Chain A
């Protein structure tokens, strides 16, 4: 099983749509979870951290299920500017706990 696995995509959606991304991770000892966004040929940038109780930031909602080792990201009311690759990111368990492991990413294309 890959360390971090994501839907391969791409996801093509119209503006205003709701889209959900899924991610699974292999190591149950991982403790920190993130969604990063990467625009084409740019650096990854933090979109949001993912907390055990789930968390929301405007149109974005992240969920974590530790028992299933599953993370999700929901984007409501998609905008053209949401078009990017969404990276599921998990920290390594100790002793490498400060090191982040990236999924391959799911590309989102939002069309008018």
Chain B
């Protein structure tokens, strides 16, 4: 069965960096786009980024709120997805979910839906 397991969350101070990882299993990882989606405490969902399946021609999209501070990457040989987070702010506090994206659309490769999600990892940014 499809399994996504995030790790790397924790408590950090404003301005710090953190790297999240997502280990995938149960499907052919290099055939799927992947995304990071976050949820602030008691709030709704927000797409953070998406990354294409190929590491040769890689398409990566970011939310305006994280562009220039976060970097998404993947290692298809290790079935892993990463989110390098920098210049963290209090408003980045959230549960970060790794999710599989079965379809994309448009010239911008917009993810259409997330069909499998991990359990999430909590990132808390506080002094």
Do A and B form a real pair?
A: no
